[in-house]
Structure 1
Amino acid sequence: MMRQHTRVIGWAAALLAMAGFSALGGWQLQRMQAKQALLDAQGPALARVMPLQQALAAAGPLHGVADHGRFLPGVVLLDNQIRHGRAGVKIYRPFRSDSGALVLADLGWRALPADRQLPHPPAPPSPVAVRGLLAPAPAPGLALGPAFVPGTGTGQWLASRLPAPGLAAVLGVPGLPDRVLRLDPALPFGDERDLELLPNTLPPERHLGYAVQWFGLALTVLVVALVLEWRRRRAAR
């Protein structure tokens, strides 16, 4: 009776482990597919530009934008952004198009010095014509601590992630979308930037590799459970 009880517990534990490993493998596959779809959509999006208001209303995560408007007061510095192996911040400012559409615009990356003194970048020209890529905001990672805190200057905020409702409130604008405008690197203002969609995150192929590892662990548990079961039955004969 005790052996039967132990066998049931063992199989239950094995099934739970296999289910958990398989779920993690499936999640990694979903992440791979989502990121690959984003990369595949970039080319067509850049080939067809539209005004900001139209892009915000259109379906899909990526849209090329060409519009005219002005930058509003306030600056958001997104912390922990790695480029060229150095830590820095991404600089965002609210932008309002002439039609009234609002978005956080990515003005580029700037390295932080060793003492982490926050930069005070000059305001870009305004009003101004802009172009770029409307894209999802950078992935937040683990949401630990406050999303943003006051910086070292008036209207400056240091952020660990970009929650649209909270930032809209502190920047004094009526609302912000959960996407950002990645400005064309060729525009003659702002800091160093590009249209890389997956900075500081894993590429699709890495997610595929992790998925294979999780599914491999699930298969290993199954094989071990079957071998133990075969040995138990062999010993019982």
Structure 2
Amino acid sequence: MTRKLVTVSVFGLIGAAILISLGVWQLQRLAWKESVLAEIDARIAAAPVALPATPDPIDDRYLPVAAEGTFTGDPLRVLVSVQGSGPGYRLISVLETGGRRVLVDRGFLAEGVALPPTPQGAVTVTGNLHWPDEIDSFTPDADIARNQWFARDVDAMAAHLETEPTFIVLREISVPDAPITPLPVTAEGIPNNHLGYAVQWFGLALVWLGMTAFLAWRIRRS
């Protein structure tokens, strides 16, 4: 009986130690992720620079840029819902700048609001380079005939509008563009669930210890 009690106790302590170590690891991951998010926030808010000649989707993600040029053509509409504003569209326009054609996410237009005229003449846009990861196996194909897209697929939009796959998410524009509201890049959409995972592991450790104590009590009684 004593050997059985020792076996249960050792097994319980080893299991709890493993669960606690997983919780500690998640807390370490939390600190790392918060550091990464702080770096991203600092990068997003930095002073804008000129548009790189060949932007890289990895190295230049979130890079703040400023570009001067003219909008051309009709914008693409990407279906989106904004908290507090309801459904609507992101408007994606072509900016011709320095002999280049790039994509600009001008912001949100609420459903039912008439599409305003595209700003004419020279404009200066300030924003962040971005390559959104919004495509999965459930994303419908774009309805080209109705000009309705369901995700910001940079490569597909660039091919459709005959631009380079460079995507600027607008923060500011030098001319009035109401009723379009810019939706700047932020770090808010980047998942950070490590605290929740840590709580789960620590909770499992407590349950494991409780079950071990209960089993040990039953053994002692018998």
TM value normalised by structure 1 = 0.66
Flag structure 2 segments of 5+ consecutive residues without an equivalent: none
Q: What's the secondary structure of 2:46's corresponding residue?
A: helix
CA contact (8 A) 1:135 1:182 kept: no
Equivalent position to 1:135, from 129, 139, 147: 129
Shift of 1:22: 8.4
Deviation (angstroms), 1:35: 3.6
Deviation of the 1:87 alpha carbon = 2.2
TM-superposed deviation, 1:92: 0.9
AA partner of residue 200 (structure 2): L
CA contact (8 A) 2:62 2:185 kept: no
Secondary structure, in 3 states, of the residue corresponding to 1:87?
strand
Contact 2:81 2:88 in 1 (8 A): yes
| Structure 1 gap segments, 5+ residues each | none
> How far apart are 1:136 and its partner, in Å?
2.0
* TM-superposed deviation, 1:105: 0.6
For 2:176, the equivalent position in structure 1 comes to 188
Q: CA–CA distance in 1 between the matches of 2:28 and 2:79?
A: 31
**Identical-pair percentage:** 14
* Alpha-carbon distance in 2 for matches of 1:138, 1:225: 42
User: Which residue, 18, 24, 38 being the options, matches 2:40?
Assistant: 38
Cα deviation for residue 104 of structure 1 reads 1.4
Cα gap change, 1:223 to 1:31, in 2 (>3 Å): same
Amino acid at match of 2:120: P
CA contact (8 A) 2:134 2:153 kept: no
Q: Do 1:93 and 1:106's aligned partners in 2 also have CA atoms closer than 8 Å? A: yes
* Equivalent in 198, 201, 220 of residue 215 of structure 1: 198
1:93–1:104 contact (8 Å) kept in structure 2: yes
Tell me by how many angstroms 1:29 deviates.
6.5
Instruction: Give the aligned partner of residue 67 of structure 1.
Output: 67
Offset of residue 64 of structure 1: 3.5
1:108 Cα deviation from its structure 2 partner: 2.6
Look up the match of 2:150. Answer: 160
User: In the alignment, what sits opposite 1:108?
Assistant: 107
Aligned residues: 212
Equivalent-residue separation in structure 2 for 1:31 and 1:148 (angstroms): 34
Between the aligned partners of 1:71 and 1:19, the Cα distance in structure 2 is: 55
The corresponding residue for 2:165 is: 176
Could you say what secondary structure the match of 1:230 adopts?
Answer: helix
AA partner of residue 176 (structure 1):
P
The structure with more radius of gyration: 2
Aligned partner of 2:152: which letter? L
Between 217-226 and 58-67, report the one with greater CA deviation: 58-67
The answer as to 2:127 corresponding to 1:125 is: no
Q: Which amino acid aligns with 2:162?
A: G
Q: Relative to structure 1, is the Cα distance of residues 82 and 181 closer, same or farther in structure 2, using a 3 angstrom cutoff? A: closer
1:142 and 1:24 map into 2 onto residues whose CA distance is 27
Shift of 1:168: 2.0
Q: How does 1:37-56 map to 2 (within 5 A)?
A: 37-46=39-48, 49-50=49-50, 52-54=51-53, 56=55
1:140 Cα deviation from its structure 2 partner: 2.5
**Do the aligned partners of 2:127 and 2:170 also contact (CA within 8 Å) in 1?**
yes
Q: How far did residue 134 of structure 1 move? A: 2.3
